[in-house]
Structure 1
């Protein structure tokens, strides 16, 4: 096999669909030769034309000059059969997610390519060990998982199967770098890194929906406006499609032997079985028009009625609450007069538990989430049986201070705090299992899912002790093992160590 930096280094791509086209494009953009094959007659040539169209568009946008474009096009050829891959240094398979089909392709390739050529699969869900099992040289088999659209998504996961040699993984990582991707090494496991680490964003949102905490519009608005996520979980599920999201969720859940931290909800399954797949069917969590735009504007914003509050009593001494009140122009009372709203910030508790623990009037309690950005949107929460006038009074004052309000039902950890702690905890689970280096976990989730920060960074941002406390309270209040904190998180929080401290 040629050195990965050799100008003649050649990549074969099996499958000329969207992913195969993208892999071919980044290969030639990296200065390598690429050969595209598809079993369907004419598909490889059609795929090459699509790649050329994308290159032409880059020229039109002045992102690529004509000479470079011509050079790249000359590097991409089409194979009439797999036997044309005999000179390839690496072959990347990007066909349908069917184990037997992939095994068949790899078996055939082993009789064609050189003994030291690398065989990689772009699978997003099938174990590398299962694909390599029938190969004569399983040590040269690995995953090279790209993300769609390949030319725009900068991440590639290098998946090391149980037999994959270190040299093969290193070579694929270097190949990813030459393609202009950021390569992260991941141990073989269900969902690999991104599809595993990303489960919390979807499943916890679905869990809160099932508990009646908030609507899809409310949850999406809180997570985008207050936490910096590019898309809310429900809009994102609708974009990727329930036909993709639900099966992957089940593959990961069942692959980890029904670990509660990875469980989805019956509603998720119902949408999948009902064919409400999202934008592609014009109906998912939201309804869409023919252009793919949501039909309804949603119900995220709460419109208060009545007179805004001028003063509130703080449920407990709190610099965060006092600072927030000063910021929005709310006076704080030295003693409870039994009339005005009581403002609280429970960290991991629901309003009910908070009121009972502090012995305060739950009817007048209005809880505000100060764990995330409140400059644009503020989340308010009340206990069952609360006086709606108290919510209106606080919401009115915040509206007058230029904030948009989302009012949710009782929930341990509100929405933002609960979600971020859950993502952080799952990220530490990946670190605990040694599936990837801690720094790579953050990199992968930011590049692969456009998270505003990685899971371990979220734990740092919240504070390790706060993250641990939120998870412990969620587990205690719900009684659900889903929220058990990892030992990785617990030990570092208790010892006051950085989250990336190795075991």
Structure 2
């Protein structure tokens, strides 16, 4: 087995599509000789040309020296026949997500490459062990799951099969590092780590939409402004395409024997069936036609701002908001003013029933996350709209207001708690080391924090409280807390504690 740093080391890539070409580019840019092959006539040469154009654009933008671009291009060879990959020390397969097609490629490579050459699959979901099981030399088969677009995405999931040797994993890990990527070793499980862990962000948003708690624009605004996500879940689904994210969601849910924590919604499938695929189709959760207006997530009010608000004892965040917005925070209920409370996990209806507060005047504030630019408010059924609008008129000049229907956990609490819970469950399942889980989720999905660090930021006990309230109020085991989370919350430990 030739060392990764050897000057004669050669990488092979089978599949010249977007993923394959991206792998070729980052290998060549990092000093690796690479041969690319595709069964379609002319596809390998076209991929080499496309990489050359991308390198030229980097030169034009001042991000790459012309000499380095020329050297990278010279390292790429278009292999007309698969037999031309015989000298390769590692071959990465990046073809369609079909196990029979992948096994056919690897079976051919087994007859061509050296006995100690490594065969790696870029599959995003198919079990590495299932691919290796149908080959003669299982010990040298591993997964190297890159993320699209490869030149920009630094993560590589490294996946051993049941027979993969430690030496092979060490080699592919070193290869990923030499290619300028960040490798994270993960367990061979449906969806691996990122595609498994990424389900919570999208499917809980879909559950919120199904319950008519909030619109896509409202959900996206809350997750961006209050929790710091680069894109809201509906924006993200429209970007990746419903034809991509729905099949992955359905596959992972089915492969995990219908665990309700991974369940999507009928609306998700309906979007696929009706061709509302997102940006690529011009319509998804948003209208992407040229000039189409984006719905506003902000609540507006023409009412006169209220002068006073009753804030019950123990709701410090609500009091601070009211005073900052220039209204009087009443210590005693006058029977007429709006009532503002902060809730964790509970909805307005349950809170009014439990405390005896006047539901018609009750408004709840979500205290989670950054509320300096946007606040989320909700009211129970039958709320006095005039009082609600007067409160919005008081707050809106200071902050954007998102008004949602009654829901345990609002929007941010629900989605964040589910992201944290699934991250904790991945740690419980041993899909990767706790730090590796966070690294993979940050790099693979551009999350502002990994799910375990997010658990610590919110507080493991608070996350547990939100989930328990959601499970109790909805009766849905979708919100079943991970035992990893429960134990660390009860012991006051970081979620990263192994």
Normalised TM-score (structure 1): 0.97
Q: For residue 222 of structure 1, report the CA deviation from its aligned partner.
A: 0.9
Q: Which residue of structure 2 aligns with residue 98 of structure 1?
A: 98
How do 1:457-476 and structure 2 match up within 5 A? 457-476=453-472
Q: For residue 78 of structure 1, report the CA deviation from its aligned partner.
A: 1.1
Whole-Å Cα distance in 2 between the matches of residues 363 and 212 of structure 1? 20
Whole-Å Cα distance in 2 between the matches of residues 288 and 64 of structure 1? 34
Q: Which residue of structure 2 aligns with residue 480 of structure 1?
A: 476
* Aligned-CA RMSD value: 1.1
Q: For residue 329 of structure 1, report the CA deviation from its aligned partner.
A: 2.7
1:332 to 311, 329, 332: 329
Q: Which residue of structure 1 aligns with residue 255 of structure 2?
A: 255
Whole-Å Cα distance in 1 between the matches of residues 167 and 393 of structure 2? 63
| SS at 1:460 equivalent | helix
Whole-Å Cα distance in 2 between the matches of residues 317 and 73 of structure 1? 65
Whole-Å Cα distance in 1 between the matches of residues 311 and 453 of structure 2? 31
1:433 to 422, 429, 433: 429
Q: For residue 472 of structure 1, report the CA deviation from its aligned partner.
A: 0.4
Given that residues 315 and 360 in structure 1 are in contact (C-alpha distance below 8 angstroms), is that contact kept between their aligned partners in structure 2? no
Whole-Å Cα distance in 1 between the matches of residues 150 and 225 of structure 2? 28
**Is residue 2:365 matched to residue 1:368?**
yes
Given that residues 230 and 446 in structure 2 are in contact (C-alpha distance below 8 angstroms), is that contact kept between their aligned partners in structure 1? yes
* Count of residues in Structure 1 that have an aligned counterpart in Structure 2: 498
**Is residue 2:358 matched to residue 1:355?**
no
Q: Which residue of structure 2 aligns with residue 161 of structure 1?
A: 161
Given that residues 15 and 36 in structure 1 are in contact (C-alpha distance below 8 angstroms), is that contact kept between their aligned partners in structure 2? yes
For 1:205-248, what per-residue CA distance to the aligned partner results, in whole angstroms no more than 9, with x for missing partners? 00000111001111111111111111111111111111101000
1:321 to 290, 309, 318: 318
Q: For residue 164 of structure 1, report the CA deviation from its aligned partner.
A: 1.8
Q: Which residue of structure 1 aligns with residue 271 of structure 2?
A: 271
Given that residues 222 and 412 in structure 2 are in contact (C-alpha distance below 8 angstroms), is that contact kept between their aligned partners in structure 1? yes
**Is residue 2:493 matched to residue 1:497?**
yes
Given that residues 421 and 458 in structure 1 are in contact (C-alpha distance below 8 angstroms), is that contact kept between their aligned partners in structure 2? no
Q: For residue 321 of structure 1, report the CA deviation from its aligned partner.
A: 2.6
Whole-Å Cα distance in 2 between the matches of residues 26 and 97 of structure 1? 22
| SS at 2:35 equivalent | strand
Q: For residue 119 of structure 1, report the CA deviation from its aligned partner.
A: 0.6
How do 1:145-224 and structure 2 match up within 5 A? 145-224=145-224
Q: For residue 315 of structure 1, report the CA deviation from its aligned partner.
A: 3.2
Whole-Å Cα distance in 1 between the matches of residues 455 and 103 of structure 2? 40
User: CA 1:487–1:397 in structure 2 vs 1: closer, same or farther (change >3 Å)?
Assistant: same
2:375 to 378, 393, 397: 378
Whole-Å Cα distance in 2 between the matches of residues 325 and 470 of structure 1? 25
Whole-Å Cα distance in 2 between the matches of residues 140 and 389 of structure 1? 69
**Is residue 2:388 matched to residue 1:391?**
yes
Q: Which residue of structure 2 aligns with residue 7 of structure 1?
A: 7
Q: For residue 305 of structure 1, report the CA deviation from its aligned partner.
A: 2.6
Q: For residue 325 of structure 1, report the CA deviation from its aligned partner.
A: 2.8
How do 1:408-447 and structure 2 match up within 5 A? 408-447=404-443
How do 1:111-150 and structure 2 match up within 5 A? 111-150=111-150
The farther-off stretch of 80-89 and 98-107 is: 80-89
Unaligned runs of 5+ in 2: none
Given that residues 315 and 358 in structure 1 are in contact (C-alpha distance below 8 angstroms), is that contact kept between their aligned partners in structure 2? no
Q: For residue 49 of structure 1, report the CA deviation from its aligned partner.
A: 0.2
Given that residues 453 and 496 in structure 2 are in contact (C-alpha distance below 8 angstroms), is that contact kept between their aligned partners in structure 1? no
For 1:343-392, what per-residue CA distance to the aligned partner results, in whole angstroms no more than 9, with x for missing partners? 01110001111111111011101101111111111111000111111211
Given that residues 226 and 374 in structure 1 are in contact (C-alpha distance below 8 angstroms), is that contact kept between their aligned partners in structure 2? yes
Q: Which residue of structure 2 aligns with residue 30 of structure 1?
A: 30
Given that residues 366 and 390 in structure 1 are in contact (C-alpha distance below 8 angstroms), is that contact kept between their aligned partners in structure 2? no
Whole-Å Cα distance in 2 between the matches of residues 315 and 98 of structure 1? 59
Whole-Å Cα distance in 1 between the matches of residues 87 and 179 of structure 2? 19
Whole-Å Cα distance in 1 between the matches of residues 197 and 333 of structure 2? 45
Given that residues 305 and 396 in structure 1 are in contact (C-alpha distance below 8 angstroms), is that contact kept between their aligned partners in structure 2? yes
The farther-off stretch of 416-425 and 327-336 is: 327-336
Q: Which residue of structure 2 aligns with residue 285 of structure 1?
A: 285
Given that residues 341 and 364 in structure 2 are in contact (C-alpha distance below 8 angstroms), is that contact kept between their aligned partners in structure 1? yes
Whole-Å Cα distance in 1 between the matches of residues 214 and 317 of structure 2? 25
